[in-house]
Structure 1
């Protein structure tokens, strides 16, 4: 069955997209590699390919010690292939869309396992009045999958605790509604009602910005990264962290627990 789809895709690239024979050949090589992997996995039909299969294929390629450029090209080829199949309704989802491609001189982006997330939460000093703020930050980055830019731009008017939602302004000023977990709601309520008020008093301000730094001013993206770095300084199990890793963990854990790709894409603000 895969053979039929490969031939269709090659014809599409050649006759509808007018790609050069060399480019079409490179696509075919990448698809043949994936076809071999599916045979090894015992997967007979393209509709059986889901996000978990895509992740296993990424790991399979990584073990081959391919260059980052080759690895990125192979995944990009499969994204285009599944986009083609999705457009013609042969598949319902594009399982390669949420895979993060490795960038030059960087490791493949990782995510945290549940026990590592538990360790991160344990590193927050709740005896420090900024602990309430830091907990709320972690809850939104991990529990809602926000970009750090989205987190820093939040204002009180974006929080709707009674409805258990956030209204987030993402890339291109597009707004989306993000559900709040119970733990995120509790963390936000504690921060807003307690330590945030103390921070505002320091600045003699009535700012509507949600997250404030220790001077009572708007917390910057760099400030968020510094907070995360200081947290893992107290951990023996976590060696590195970034806001994007928490966002990636949010998506990974949802998909691993059965969420469908389209729903996760919408929560992340992917078009």
Structure 2
């Protein structure tokens, strides 16, 4: 019975537009666990026991959080279902990004052009992809999912079904347009049926794991931050774009508001708080904030 309820719950929420990739796995796993115990309804004790099997405090929190939502859904239909209280604490610490200097980005693209030629388009693929992410702040998945039809006239990228199912248009700088057009000239000579812009050796969409390992190889070739214990990541290209954009933000209050909204929209943030997080990413931004706060306090005291 619980397994059928789980499938109905997942199907209903997905029909409403939620992807529920991890949530669906958790709900189905819980339903199987509870059914194996002989439960026909959501029970607090069973939910806690199942969540406790998680590998870390955060995993246990997420497991029980998903069951709490599932329990509320079923309890609304039948009070015999119990609604657990989440006993676990979630601690989220976002790792501060590595901000690439402009000369490091140049080295990165140049190093990609010296990769071992395991297939004809490999160097052009990675040099263009890494340069595009750095110039636009795209998520890696968004770059990998680009189709030829998503390169629109006028230097516009169409990002379809990105994070949280959102889509958006991303205008490109003229230099990025030149680079992508140069790449497409070589790309369109490939005799493949796959529509993806960036192709693997097999002529298909590149796996995220392959991009990650290739990026680390390019980083070594470029000699970027070799002494760091925590190596810069490919996602830091996106972070670098955001922080550089904020450094150029005007200081007038109304201009700052417009700048933040524009950046959040450009990067595909669903919550403006995701954009605010970048304020703490560079010393320049924190210095500007402190100076603005001091100026505001001085003005207030003079009133």
1:110 is paired with a residue whose SS is coil
Residue from 97, 118, 121 that aligns with 1:109: 97
In structure 2, the CA distance between the partners of 1:197 and 1:222, relative to structure 1 (3 Å rule), is farther
Name the CA distance, whole Å, in 2 between partners of 1:126 and 1:159. 26
Instruction: Give the direction of change, closer, same or farther, for the CA distance of 1:246–1:141 in structure 2 (3 Å limit).
Output: same
Q: 1:177 aligned to 2:165?
A: no
Distance 2:216 2:189 in 1: 25
| Residue 237 of structure 1: how far off its partner (Å) | 3.0
Q: Could you tell me which runs of 5 or more consecutive residues in structure 1 were left unpaired when the two chains were aligned.
A: 1-101
Taking the aligned partners of 1:181 and 1:139, their CA distance within structure 2 comes to: 12
TM-score, length-normalised on structure 2? 0.49
- 1:262 corresponds to 2:254: no
Task: Determine helix, strand or coil for the equivalent of 2:168.
Answer: strand
The 1:116–1:219 alpha-carbon spacing in structure 2 relative to 1, beyond 3 Å, is same
| 1:116–1:238 Cα contact (<8 Å) kept | no
What value does the CA root-mean-square deviation take over the aligned residues? Answer: 2.5
Residues 172-211 of structure 1 mapped to structure 2, 5 A cutoff: 172-195=164-187, 197-198=189-190, 201=191, 205-211=192-198
Aligned to 1:251: 242
Instruction: Give the CA deviation at 1:121.
Output: 2.3
The alpha-carbon deviation at position 236 of structure 1 amounts to 2.2
Return the alpha-carbon distance in structure 2 between the equivalents of residues 225 and 163 of structure 1: 31
Which of 218, 227, 235 matches 2:205? 218
Determine the C-alpha separation between the residues in 2 that align with 1:244 and 1:237: 15
Question: Is 1:130 matched up with 2:122?
Answer: yes
CA contact (8 A) 1:155 1:209 kept: yes
Instruction: Provide the C-alpha distance between the structure 1 equivalents of 2:131 and 2:222, rounded to a whole number of angstroms.
Output: 18
Instruction: Kindly indicate whether structure 1 or structure 2 has the higher relative contact order, using CA contacts under 8 Å at least 6 residues apart.
Output: 1
Runs of at least 5 residues in structure 2 that lack an aligned partner in the other structure:
1-90, 251-258, 271-303
Once residues 248 and 219 of structure 2 are traced to their aligned partners in structure 1, the CA distance between those partners, rounded to angstroms, is: 26
Question: Are 2:106 and 1:118 aligned?
Answer: yes
Moved more, 233-242 or 260-269: 233-242
SS across alignment from 1:233? helix
Count of residues in Structure 1 that have an aligned counterpart in Structure 2: 164
**Counterpart for residue 36 of structure 1:** none
Inter-partner Cα distance in structure 1 for 2:168 and 2:244: 21
Alpha-carbon distance in structure 2 between the residues aligned to 1:187 and 1:228: 19
TM normalised by structure 1 equals 0.55
Q: CA deviation at 1:219?
A: 0.8
Whether the 8 Å contact between 1:155 and 1:208 is mirrored in structure 2 is yes
Q: Which residue, out of 136, 140, 164, partners 2:155?
A: 164
After TM superposition, give the deviation of residue 246 of structure 1 in Å.
Answer: 0.5
Q: Per-residue deviation at 1:124?
A: 2.4
Deviations 1:177-236 (A, max 9, x none): 1111222222221222214533xx3xxx31111111122111121122122112112122
